[in-house]
Amino acid sequence: MASWQQQEEILRFHSFLLQVYKEGEQNNRTGPSTFETDLQVHLINEGHTNPLEKLWDQNGGFFIVEKMRLYEETSRLEEWQNGEPSVSEAFPKENLSASPLALSRARQLISFYTMSQNPNMKHLQINHAAQLPPLWIRCEPSDPKQTIWLGAESLRNGNNLSGIRLHTVTCNGPLSNNNYSIGLEELKESHRMRHHASDLTVKGFARYGFLESTSLDSLTQEDSLIPLERNIYADFAWEDVKMKLQTPPLSSAALLTVQIASGSPLSSVYEPNRELQFLLSLAEILKNGLIKWPKAPGRKSAVELVQKLLKDLKDEVDGLKSQNDDDTEDNTATVIGSMKTLFSQRGDLDFLELLWCNIWRNVATHEELVKCFSLVIRALQHGALQTWIHQESNSLLSKLIKQSYHGKMETVSLDGDSPMQMLLEIGLDKMKRDYISYFVGKELAMRAHLDYFMSTSVDLQEQVHRIQKLHHVLEIVDNCLDLIKLEHENLIFLTQSCINYYKENPLNEKQAFQLPVRTSLVKEFYQNVHPQIWRVEISSGQGPKRVKTMWQLSSTPPAEHMHPTNGDSLDDTEICGNKEKHFVILSGCSQVEFI
């Protein structure tokens, strides 16, 4: 039986975890919460970042315990009565890495958790009606096996606690050779002996990244400052593993994950993104007032370009100029620099869209914008501009052009924010038609699927926000077409997934979209490269008695708190070159029944 002092420690730890769990359920609080003076506890719920995602399958919340770091407490709850511990919300002074506990301390906390869950320890007088989530503890890998995690989760038979499952995760690395010390048959035999199992299930898993590190030498200094947040990888899962590091067979189930942020200079739709950024800058100016005029990528005079556009159109009407004259300067379809785009220029640009393309690339000041619109309005008033526009255009300038057909135009002021609003309207109209042309033209969506993004029943700021979301869909879909040549049926599925997500959610460029694909479709991308993760899982038993042994090879450390051993360190040149280094992770569990 535990000593009186130990019983007090067990009760304090259990009471603390129970309070954190209850407060987390009520407030969706993630912590960290402090225990005594040296520990902090996170309650990880669904949707939160899960540091054990690659090491442990779990549905529902769980605790992570780690060593207390430097904190500046911003609020403190009232201390519990009768000497019970206080729980306080705290926030880090700086972004420090997670801190592990000494292995002896971790084992002590696992024993406290285990004893608190044992219904036979009646002298503790613990009410087990409220089930505690599993407990995981970060450990210093100072023992010979280099243990990095210890875990414990209670087992139930109906409503009754029946036992505990204990987890151990060890890691060796980084290693620069291919000597992984233990073979597949040895792993299977070890599992059989440990768990007295006869029938084993052996499953394989591998993850391959499809975007390699890209040199930034060819980018401008400005472009190189933009983060290249492009992540496309495929997860493969299969049964009946034959050997370690087996290449996924064609019978594998493959799941593609795509996470791409807008703005990369390497993106296939980099140019439309620059156009969108100018549009967003206009919307920001109208919302918050002029802070800084957005930088235009062009180097020509916007006023001179508008004058030439008006003259060319008048000459066409007068029969002095052919629409297809070779000397017509087309400033609207020029792609700046050497960056390619699969988002091709439309061939049905009307006057207002041509006007937008000339202005947004080159206008440098508000005064220059006013001059551009003055030229257009004067030409309309004097009948010098006779042109067509798309029927569904919704801008003020399109209204003036339609009025000019009948020889009557209302007076428009170009004072204040009016010119910027007019420019934003025609740019918004143009970009909406661009996206319709792409998604409908490539048969990735029907026009009705895009109604949410095209709606004019919301204010201008919301319309811009929705176009920004649709552009993120474009980034994802077009880059998948460009980089991994996804089949049309997969592109349709991906497009609809993104569209449905953004109809219900705000812009989130960190959102990962997933779709199942045929393994044969991506075979060429993984046949001759090393996986980022390769894992084999050996399991036996059924239901709550199922136990698992996992061996994993990873190109990155499996835990934030890991430090290289034996003075070894990871070097990017070695990882990308011939001297690849890896981490070998071994995870096992055991079950103990309460007697």
Domain range for 292 is: 269-320+340-508
With respect to residue 89, please indicate whether it lies within any of the assigned structural domains.
no
Residues 6+ apart with CB under 8 A from 354: 309, 332
- Residue 441 burial by Cβ neighbours in a 10 Å radius (0-12, 13-18, 19+): exposed
Task: Name the CA dihedral angle for 389, 390, 393, 395, rounded to a multiple of 10 degrees.
Answer: -20
Q: What are 332-352's pLDDT values in tens digits?
A: 444 333 234 446 678 889 999
d(CA 428, CA 362): 17
Query: What is the reported pLDDT for 217?
Result: 44
SS3 call for 560: coil
* Structural domain includes residue 130: yes
In a domain, 326, yes or no: no
Point out the residues of the chain with pLDDT beneath 70: 1-2, 28-31, 69-97, 128-129, 177-181, 212-228, 291, 320-344, 561-580
Clarify whether residues 536 and 551 are in a common domain: no
Q: Do 56 and 156 share a structural domain?
A: yes
The pLDDT of residue 322 is 54
Same domain, 250 and 288: no
- What is the CATH number for 250? 2.20.25
The residues facing 172 across adjacent strands are 584
pLDDT of residue 574: 40
Q: How far apart are CA 397 and CA 374, in angstroms?
A: 12
What's the predicted TM-score (pTM) here? 0.79
Domain annotation covers residue 236? yes
Are both 545 and 535 inside the same structural domain?
A: no
Q: Decide if 101 is inside a domain.
A: yes
278 and 357 assigned to the same domain? yes
Same domain assignment for residues 394 and 522: no
Instruction: Specify burial of residue 85 (Cβ count, 10 A radius: 0-12, 13-18, 19+).
Output: middle
We report the CATH number of the domain holding residue 413 as 1.20.58.730
Strands (E), 393-494: none
The angle, 0 to 180 degrees and rounded to 10, between the axes of the packed helices 351-360 and 302-317 is 160
Domain match, 445 and 390 both:
yes
pLDDT of residue 223: 45
**Number of domains the chain contains:** 3
Q: Is position 90 within any domain? A: no
Rounded CA-CA distance 6/212 in Å is 53
Same domain, 289 and 344: yes
d(Cα 332, Cα 305) in Å, to the nearest integer?
A: 11
> Based on the domain organization, do 436 and 583 belong to the same domain?
no
Determine contact, residues 62/44, Cβ cutoff 8 Å: yes
* 278: in domain: yes
User: Is the domain of 146 the same as that of 104?
Assistant: yes
Same-domain check for residues 417 and 545:
no
* Residue 75, domain member (yes or no): no
The predicted pLDDT at position 576 comes to 36
Same domain, 297 and 230: no
Closest CA to 150 of 114, 201, 96, 186: 114
